[in-house]
Chain A
Amino acid sequence: MDDAVGIIGYGRSQYERKPGQGELDYVADAVSAALQSAGLQARDIDGLAISSTTLGGDNAVTAAERLGIALRWARGSVAGGAGALVMARDAHDAIAAGRASHILCVGSGRQDGASFRDRVSRFNRAVGDYLAPHGCGGMNGLFALIQAKHMARYGTTRAQLGRIAVGQRASAMRNPAALLRDAMTLDDYLAAPPIAEPLHLFDCVMPCSGAEAVLLGPRDRAGGRGIAIRATGERYNHRPAEVVPLEGGWAAFRDDLYDAAGWGPDAVDCVQVYDDYPIMAAIQLEDLGFCAKGEVGPFLAGHELSFAGSFPLNTGGGQLSVGQAGGAGGMLGLVEAVQQLRGEAGERQVANARRALVSGYGMVAYGHGLAASALLLETA
């Protein structure tokens, strides 16, 4: 990939349990923070992409009017929680092709518990017609079946998967943006009330509102702090019609991804995966080659997963501790990775972080998620 173009800014809005403003106001807050981190003004921006499923009739074009930015390039996402990473790749390529000079990529969502429940019951036609009418509580039941199958087939335990939630919480305690910052032990995790067994309370993300943004442009504008995108992958409808699969599509492009970067999972300093549930984070670790399929349980047991641990995972707390702000969830890991690679993560800084992997997952339909993506980043 052309590494003259990279990620030269990042930012996030505040997160709120109950939305206190409109979604485009969260977008505006994340955009302002990203511009500030890059030392740029709104007039420098000529491209905007937004990944959201809660904007109604609004999108990057109407957002441009609200933000006072004239655009040469505007895009949206079709891939839910996998879409933000794909947008960043497309923004990179658009700049490399001369179609824009500076592009903001935003993930955003405005929701609370009630609006989230309503939204997931109408996620898409397959879910609305053939799953939601059972009345079994949104997506938890489906992911409970995935976890139950992984536990039965490979012997994975709740105590192993719980290390993800516990490690991420330790990082979140040092992230002022995270909504859930109370200390959590593995005993707390295991003793939490059941939601959809084997899922318990701390396996389930809390719906909230917020926005995350990265700014792409010429890396020479970033004073040595621009981050290079080394490789990306995306895959849709992997293994058609599969119901309750124990893989999500990342393995289909994994080898190409690492070949393009020239380095592999052993060289990654921090990992940011899409954590709608710990079991999906675990499956991404398997599919992306950090351990073999079925061996993620012992892998997790052998590592400490906080920012300071032997395997820094979702080092801002992930969606499990920050909160699930719709389309912002797909951008959360990318913003965190950029902050880490710039050495600007403060009290939760991963020591000597130079390379990061970020992955996305989304478009849950009948029995499986249809979209998988990943992106490899490196400091100059």
Chain B
Amino acid sequence: MSDDPRLDAVLLAWRERGELLIQHCANCGATAYYPRPRCPACASADVALIAASGLGEVVGLSRVHRGLDPALAAEAPVLLAEIRLDEGATLIARVVAERDEPVGPGMRVATLPKDRAADFPLPSFAPA
């Protein structure tokens, strides 16, 4: 448990259910990742966590070779991507792909299946 119930909810939903939680604003309709005390678009307090579809599109991608956590070093390069969710919010997350699998802008991605979620500290994706 952290001192932030929203963070705890995001982490629990991912770890236990493989769900990606995002914030939805009832006032302006904006979605956001990560969740905050107020809507980042309109400052409304009328915000709530919703389960996203987990589907989105790669906007841009980096192959990260150096500076990885030691536990990831053997997997280098690791793919870090800007992903636009179908709900509208944009986030930065890992894309887990086979070594020779082409991944690039415009590619459809989905959150990893539930049985793999707990292996990743934050919501992570794979080619859809």
Residues of A bordering B, CB below 8 Å: 117, 125-126, 129-131, 133-138, 140-142, 144-145, 148-149, 152, 193-199, 240-241, 243-244, 366-367
In contact, A196 and B80 (Cβ under 8 angstroms): yes
Q: Pick the residue among A149, A196, A367 that contacts B64 (CB under 8 A).
A: A196
Q: Pick the residue among A117, A129, A198 that contacts B67 (CB under 8 A).
A: A117
In the complex, what's the smallest C-beta–C-beta distance from A103 to chain B, in angstroms? Answer: 36
Q: Provided the pairs A141-B80, A240-B41 are in contact, do residues A133 and B65 lie with their beta carbons within 8 angstroms?
A: no
In contact, A148 and B62 (Cβ under 8 angstroms): yes
Q: Which residue of A lies closest to B120 (CB)?
A: A134
In contact, A142 and B92 (Cβ under 8 angstroms): yes
Q: Which residue of A lies closest to B32 (CB)?
A: A241
Q: Which residue of B lies closest to A133 (CB)?
A: B121
Q: Is the interface of A mostly helix, strand, loop or mixed?
A: mixed
Complex contacts, B80 vs chain A, CB 8 Å: 134, 136, 141, 144-145, 196
Q: Which residue of A lies closest to B68 (CB)?
A: A137
Q: Provided the pairs A145-B82, A148-B60, A149-B60 are in contact, do residues A196 and B122 lie with their beta carbons within 8 angstroms?
A: no
Question: How long is the Cα–Cα vector from A142 to B62 in the complex, in angstroms?
Answer: 8
Question: How long is the Cα–Cα vector from A286 to B41 in the complex, in angstroms?
Answer: 25
Question: How long is the Cα–Cα vector from A362 to B2 in the complex, in angstroms?
Answer: 26
Question: CB of B91 within 8 A of chain A?
Answer: yes
Q: Can you give 7 contacting A-B residue pairs, CB < 8 Å?
A: A130-B34, A134-B92, A134-B124, A141-B64, A145-B80, A195-B64, A196-B64
List which B29-75 residues lie within 8 A (CB) of chain A.
30, 32-34, 40-41, 59-69, 71-72
Question: How long is the Cα–Cα vector from A129 to B41 in the complex, in angstroms?
Answer: 21
In the complex, what's the smallest C-beta–C-beta distance from A283 to chain B, in angstroms? Answer: 15
Question: How long is the Cα–Cα vector from A94 to B121 in the complex, in angstroms?
Answer: 48
Question: How long is the Cα–Cα vector from A243 to B82 in the complex, in angstroms?
Answer: 8
Q: Pick the residue among A145, A152, A197, A241 that contacts B65 (CB under 8 A).
A: A197
In contact, B92 and A193 (Cβ under 8 angstroms): no
Complex contacts, A199 vs chain B, CB 8 Å: 62
List which B20-34 residues lie within 8 A (CB) of chain A.
30, 32-34
Q: Which residue of A lies closest to B73 (CB)?
A: A135
Interface residues on B, range: 35 or more
Question: How long is the Cα–Cα vector from A36 to B91 in the complex, in angstroms?
Answer: 50
In contact, A194 and B82 (Cβ under 8 angstroms): no
Question: How long is the Cα–Cα vector from A138 to B67 in the complex, in angstroms?
Answer: 7
Encode contact with A along B78-121: 1 for CB under 8 Å, 0 otherwise.
10111000000011111000000000010000000000000001
Q: Which residue of A lies closest to B91 (CB)?
A: A243
Question: How long is the Cα–Cα vector from A9 to B124 in the complex, in angstroms?
Answer: 51
Q: Pick the residue among B40, B66, B68, B69 that contacts A241 (CB under 8 A).
A: B40
Question: How long is the Cα–Cα vector from A152 to B58 in the complex, in angstroms?
Answer: 13
Complex contacts, A136 vs chain B, CB 8 Å: 64, 67-69, 72, 78, 80, 94
In the complex, what's the smallest C-beta–C-beta distance from A210 to chain B, in angstroms? Answer: 22
Complex contacts, A197 vs chain B, CB 8 Å: 62-65, 77
Complex contacts, B81 vs chain A, CB 8 Å: 145
In contact, B121 and A134 (Cβ under 8 angstroms): yes
Q: Pick the residue among A135, A144, A244 that contacts B69 (CB under 8 A).
A: A135
Complex contacts, B93 vs chain A, CB 8 Å: 134
In contact, A129 and B66 (Cβ under 8 angstroms): no
Q: Which residue of B lies closest to A199 (CB)?
A: B62
In the complex, what's the smallest C-beta–C-beta distance from A112 to chain B, in angstroms? Answer: 14
In contact, B68 and A135 (Cβ under 8 angstroms): yes
Question: How long is the Cα–Cα vector from A140 to B80 in the complex, in angstroms?
Answer: 10
In contact, A145 and B92 (Cβ under 8 angstroms): yes
Question: How long is the Cα–Cα vector from A180 to B40 in the complex, in angstroms?
Answer: 41
In the complex, what's the smallest C-beta–C-beta distance from B26 to chain A, in angstroms? Answer: 17
Q: Pick the residue among A129, A152, A240, A244 that contacts B92 (CB under 8 A).
A: A244
Complex contacts, B69 vs chain A, CB 8 Å: 135-137
Q: Provided the pairs A145-B92, A243-B90, A243-B92 are in contact, do residues A137 and B82 lie with their beta carbons within 8 angstroms?
A: no
Question: How long is the Cα–Cα vector from A214 to B2 in the complex, in angstroms?
Answer: 42
Question: CB of B12 within 8 A of chain A?
Answer: no
Complex contacts, B41 vs chain A, CB 8 Å: 240-241
In contact, A244 and B59 (Cβ under 8 angstroms): yes
Interface centre among B64, B72, B91 (most CB of A within 10 A): B64
Question: How long is the Cα–Cα vector from A174 to B93 in the complex, in angstroms?
Answer: 42
Complex contacts, A243 vs chain B, CB 8 Å: 82, 90-92
